[in-house]
Structure 1
């Protein structure tokens, strides 16, 4: 399988190179040249498979040119054995035909573990084969950083630099990153917001000369195709658990960078019956405004109680635009360049085509707290603020109550104790046993100004072979 850039000017690459490259040389994101497609009969035959067995069926077509089947199976078994539930992604029922899929049973209590536990193993495999070293550079609004560090900290051939917005992630999120020891782990707190961090990451991938030609950058953000690939699996998992593929499913996805919901779109393109995808977001609602009014326009970023969605520039939306614009890289590039200076729209028929599948809702903090409270009072089930936004959006946008509606439960409530306390249901949600001493662990991080040269100089001086 070959991978092409959403902006049409970079060379097509195989899986190994896409894994290590991240951002394409033309500034675009890599997507498969074509997708595998599974028949209903084939999907039906996967009923009863374990999560790792299902993951092999869904993902192997994307990697078969790079990783032998037995090696990939072993990698997947190792990846999902570290999850704290035998089902890996258990489904919890809230009401008639209404479910939450718990994607927070991994080591860092967030859905990012599904992809990043695998990504670390893929990187180790490929880098060992090539005898190559890379520097991982990533930006996080809270969850990606800890999942990336946990997934890649044992990799022999990497240094890890994670940028997070200073004092704009929850204390649990920060400590999950900054208390992990290792000479190859570097946490950088940027005096700015997530979009500032993400822009510096993209600029660094565009010009890597600050590394002196001695190594290269690798991506752990959802610009890395391997992240998206791993997230496709749990849409198949949920469907098969609830009667699919003989019945269609609807999903509500709390999203900021659009990667998790784009994976659902791909699952549908690969043959899984999905009738509706709900974009659930907070006050940073650029995706909702585009979907509801065909106007893509950046506003000032706001700080909310759902910080993992405090994102205004949704990187993975470019991957969907690529399909919406007929896979025309020139049009994608032109539209996104125009969007940097003002609002943009797409042709009305393309926008209406998108709306056949997607709905959206933007939920404010007070409504989020009310949703946490309502679900706890009715079900004695505690939601984190992001999942609460997903459940509320699902109820606002649901088209057909005969179709199962599954909200992706993206994080454990203990990661956001302030939001849970504000809802008034629990004063302090408990951390799982393996993190019970988190607040006693020593932290290590460096606070830097929002300045690209300063960050790049720090990285050049601190990777282990510098």
Structure 2
């Protein structure tokens, strides 16, 4: 297995080099040469595996033998040893047609932990094996930053800088990042929104001289290994639902709260590998560029809105280009032209034929603020289960997009304690986990910068050269 760029000018890249490259050197995103096709017998054999064993099996198709099995196993075991549930991503049955995949049992109570705990181990492994400095640079709409920091804080040979939009993440999300006191961590609070932060990250990775001189490495889902790590829990969830139904289950829908298209692209990859997935239901909020694309075939940012689900307050989805590549039959030249058009004109439209392919694979629903809060309240009353606002968007999308009789797994992407601002608006008082309560008594450490690239570069160079 080798890796290539969606824009066609980078190819034949090994697994570790693809991991270290992050964003492809031609500005595209790295994807595997081929997507492995899993026979039914393999899926059946995997049904009784533990989460960690399943990681090993799926990764074996993508690592090209570059990591000795025992060394990979040690990283996998270390990555998930800190999770609060022994299943890592347990599945909760709500009724005959709805299950919740709980992805919030890691150190920062969010789904990003599942990939980023592993990536932290992997960066430490590469730094030691290759004897290199690694400077991780990422942007966050709330959860990626905290998860990434927890994955690499205090590790030798690694520094991490996270950009986040000032005042546009929840208080708990901010505290999870800024109360970390390790010297290898820098938090930059940036004037603007997440899209501004992500745009600067991509510009810095596209500057190959700056990238090389400063040993930049990617933590955002532009890094394919993050997508791969998230693909695992789609398989795991399907197998748990199948077992709950006596092994007799056909296709299963997945509803995914997403703003950056990374988590749902992981589900798309699982489906392409052969997992019996029905609809991939894309749940978003008022920042609904992705809903419009799926319904109309037009990809165009609208007005940015602050919502109750801040991790999805994104207009330009970093992973959209990966899906565009596949829906356009892997035509890298066309992808490159369209992405150049998007950069110059701010809009992409696809053909009617391509749109039919999109709509055969995806459904979408944009959840407004009141609908999100009503879903939290109604679900608590009916099932005694408290949803965070992102998970509530996923559940609301199921109600709109799944047909009667279909089985759907909705991804529960964060613990509700991370978003108490929204929960309190529903008239619900919740008790916080001790780990989150403790954050409010800790000192914060962050640097505030204006939303200008030169200001970010100045702070990065000071941090990297310290």
- Shorter chain as denominator, the TM-score bin is over 0.9
Q: Partner residue of 2:260? A: 257
CA contact (8 A) 2:252 2:276 kept: yes
Q: Partner residue of 2:321? A: 318
SS at match of 1:20: helix
Give me the whole-angstrom Cα distance separating, in 1, the residues matched to 2:287 and 2:349: 18
1:443 counterpart = 2:447: no
1:307 counterpart = 2:310: yes
Post-superposition Cα deviations, 1:157-197, rounded to whole Å, max 9, x if no partner, equal 11110000001000000000001111110000001100000
Q: Partner residue of 1:273? A: 276
Give me the whole-angstrom Cα distance separating, in 1, the residues matched to 2:107 and 2:402: 32
Q: Pick from 324, 334, 337: which aligns with 1:334?
A: 337
Pairwise CA RMSD? 1.3
CA contact (8 A) 1:251 1:405 kept: yes
Give me the whole-angstrom Cα distance separating, in 2, the residues matched to 1:126 and 1:132: 8
Q: Partner residue of 1:87? A: 87
CA contact (8 A) 1:5 1:12 kept: no
Give me the whole-angstrom Cα distance separating, in 1, the residues matched to 2:455 and 2:442: 28
Give me the whole-angstrom Cα distance separating, in 2, the residues matched to 1:402 and 1:59: 33
Q: Partner residue of 1:417? A: 420
CA drift of 1:425 comes to 2.4
SS at match of 2:94: strand
Structure 1 window deviating more from structure 2 (339-348 vs 281-290): it is 339-348
Give me the whole-angstrom Cα distance separating, in 1, the residues matched to 2:179 and 2:336: 40
1:353 counterpart = 2:349: no
Give me the whole-angstrom Cα distance separating, in 1, the residues matched to 2:399 and 2:261: 20
CA drift of 1:246 comes to 5.0
Q: Partner residue of 2:74? A: 74
CA drift of 1:462 comes to 1.3
TM-score (norm 1): 0.96
Q: Partner residue of 2:126? A: 126
CA contact (8 A) 2:172 2:436 kept: no
1:233 counterpart = 2:237: no
CA drift of 1:86 comes to 1.1
1:26-45 aligned at under 5 Å gives the runs 26-45=26-45
Structure 1 segments, 4+ long, off by >3 Å, are 208-211
Give me the whole-angstrom Cα distance separating, in 2, the residues matched to 1:155 and 1:120: 9
CA contact (8 A) 1:109 1:412 kept: yes
Give me the whole-angstrom Cα distance separating, in 2, the residues matched to 1:218 and 1:258: 20
CA drift of 1:64 comes to 3.7
CA drift of 1:11 comes to 3.6
SS at match of 2:298: coil
CA contact (8 A) 2:2 2:64 kept: no
Segments of structure 1 that go 5 or more residues without pairing to the other structure are none
Q: Partner residue of 2:456? A: 455
Give me the whole-angstrom Cα distance separating, in 1, the residues matched to 2:103 and 2:73: 21
CA drift of 1:214 comes to 4.4
Give me the whole-angstrom Cα distance separating, in 2, the residues matched to 1:444 and 1:342: 36
Give me the whole-angstrom Cα distance separating, in 2, the residues matched to 1:214 and 1:318: 27
Post-superposition Cα deviations, 1:27-53, rounded to whole Å, max 9, x if no partner, equal 100000112221111111112211101
CA contact (8 A) 1:239 1:245 kept: no
